[in-house]
Structure 1
């Protein structure tokens, strides 16, 4: 290191040809533009990427030539904040100036992802509020009915209804918590998850007069509760949207180091199957009302352990499939 460079470092204000504040500005994720009397004096690396102008070329040019928006030029002149929609992105812009001195700064932050999450949270809250309202109202009706004397058979029927609605509420709570619950993965045979799902769905299978069968067992690595949630969502969908009384089959197959699970039903063909896995999306022929969150939750869980989830048509049946890590076979 030569003498001038050492002096610059000892001074603490310069490193080579670049000042320390300049280096800090280039580390910021926000785009920063500094100007004097409408002429650019400095842009950081993020600003150069945002406006597509190399830093050295931006310096000395009028602000408008760099930002290319009159709204931003006006914001710099008066100060304040605004949000812009530019090329499908949401930009939060803030400007400040020192008044008589002519110095001004513009800071631009990309808040697209933040706004998207806010919108999803609002939608999810509205959907869940609607979904909770139905079982809560049903439970209230059951409890009000049980206040009165009635034949034992009728009261037992009300109790069964209440238990079904309680189970529905429990499922909604599970769906709400899926994104926040920590993963507790372990090695387990698929048969263990299949047995749990079968027990929980036994009442619904009897009510619908439907049979449920499972394919060969495999050792897998997954969170047992989240795996159960995926199975319940897919099997309940098959029971709900398939013809009454038709069997639902859960097939399994080894795919290299992964295990593929497919839930097949006899429902009519479904167009645009991939869109069904998006939040708040239901099939065009889906009966009744629903949140449209079930398959979105399935894909979110499956992606969490590195797998894939999709829907297709197999031998005249709808197949909702997912993969999960295998551990080399049983035994």
Structure 2
């Protein structure tokens, strides 16, 4: 029968008793079609919510064993029909889209701020060499924005991994963070250089997020140190600040989560983005208390040579 070809579960009823179930409904409720016919609706669907829905008609969503079911009921006198569709994958894609939008919004913020600073600087007369330096910075951030736009179509996996020296990422991060370092009167230091395998822009995003957090939540005027160490075939990078001890450090890496000391506006996505990027290249990201300082750490693939 044509009903058995439908992916949705369908139950037909009359006067509260089942007259027909299709193959999908038989699988969903674990009952054979022959045994379902003639039985009260409640004995088949085993949920008063669905029995009531059939009586009044309408639509609702149910969470059943980790699945999201969209249930639609119609009535025509004594006859009724219940259609149940598994929309779990659809809801998951919607959640991923919302998450991707939040991630993109967060990632766009840094290059946009950098470009604004470059354009503001270029409004003033300055030596040609300095002006050219600002133009180069602007072009570099424009390229970064272009790559982020491409990520709209291909997701957030680090697809442009190459071998680079950590010092390359450190230099870019220090330049972009210069205004914040000056405002906080904080010094930024970096550890031993290593050759690593990573997407340079993703690595920069991780560093910016961690150092910006250290500057925001650590005491003004206190240094922020980026320490490095070899861990077998991996390289460990830790950003240390003198902020107050943190509780539930693992929870800080969840989406839309902010620490107890967080003030002002924020998406709560920074550390979630850090962990997502790091896990994308197979590494780990965590926070711990180290030598009476907060340490936010991550690992990335090392390459034999520099620093080894």
Distance 1:64 1:266, change over 3 A: same
Tell me the equivalent position of 1:68: 46
Q: Does 1:108 align with 2:79?
A: no
**2:284 is matched with which residue?**
308
For each residue in 1:205-229, what CA deviation from the matched residue of structure 2 results, as whole angstroms up to 9, or x when unmatched?
A: 2333322222222222221111101
The structure 2 residue matched to 1:42, chosen from 21, 36, 41, is: 21
Residue-by-residue CA offset, 1:153-190 (whole Å, 9 max, x unaligned): xxxxxxxxxxxxx9xx99xx89x967756732222121
Structure 2: runs of 5 or more not aligned:
126-137
Query: For each residue in 1:98-133, what CA deviation from the matched residue of structure 2 results, as whole angstroms up to 9, or x when unmatched?
Result: x489573522324453564577689x59x97xx99x
Describe the shift of the 1:104–1:189 C-alpha distance in structure 2 as closer, same or farther (beyond 3 A): same
Q: Structure 1 residues 90 and 241 mapped into 2: Cα distance closer, same or farther (>3 Å)?
A: same
SS, match of residue 71 in structure 2: strand
Aligned to 1:209: 185
Q: In structure 2, do the counterparts of structure 1 residues 102 and 290 end up closer, same or farther at CA, with 3 Å as the change threshold?
A: closer
Greater Rg over alpha carbons, structure: 1
Q: For 1:93, which of 59, 67, 71 is the aligned residue?
A: 71
The answer as to whether partners of 2:13 and 2:41 remain within 8 angstroms in 1 is no
Alpha carbons 1:33, 1:40 under 8 Å: kept: no
Structure 2 equivalent of residue 200 of structure 1: 176
**Separation (CA, whole Å) in 1 of partners of 2:97 and 2:26:** 25
> Of 301, 306, 317, which residue of structure 1 is paired with 2:293?
317
1:83 match: 61
Query: What whole-Å deviation, never above 9, does each CA across 1:75-118 have from its counterpart, x for those lacking one?
Result: 34565422345577653212357x48957352232445356457
Which fold has the larger relative contact order, with Cα–Cα distance below 8 Å and residues 6 or more apart in sequence? Answer: 2
Matches of 1:328 and 1:34 in 2, distance apart?
A: 64
Deviation at 1:288, TM superposition (A): 3.9
Matched residue SS, 1:33 = strand
Match of 2:132 in 1: none
Distance 1:181 1:80, change over 3 A: same
**TM norm structure 2:** 0.70
Aligned length: 278
Matches within 5 A, 1:1-331: 22=4, 24-25=5-6, 28=7, 30=8, 32-37=9-14, 38-39=17-18, 41-44=20-23, 48-49=27-28, 51=29, 53-55=30-32, 59-60=36-37, 61-76=39-54, 79-84=57-62, 90-96=68-74, 99=76, 102=79, 104-111=81-88, 112-113=91-92, 116=95, 124=102, 180=155, 183-330=159-306
Contact 1:43 1:58 in 2 (8 A): no
How far does residue 279 in structure 1 lie from its aligned partner after superposition?
Answer: 2.6
Q: Is the CA contact (8 Å cut-off) linking 1:43 and 1:55 kept in structure 2?
A: no
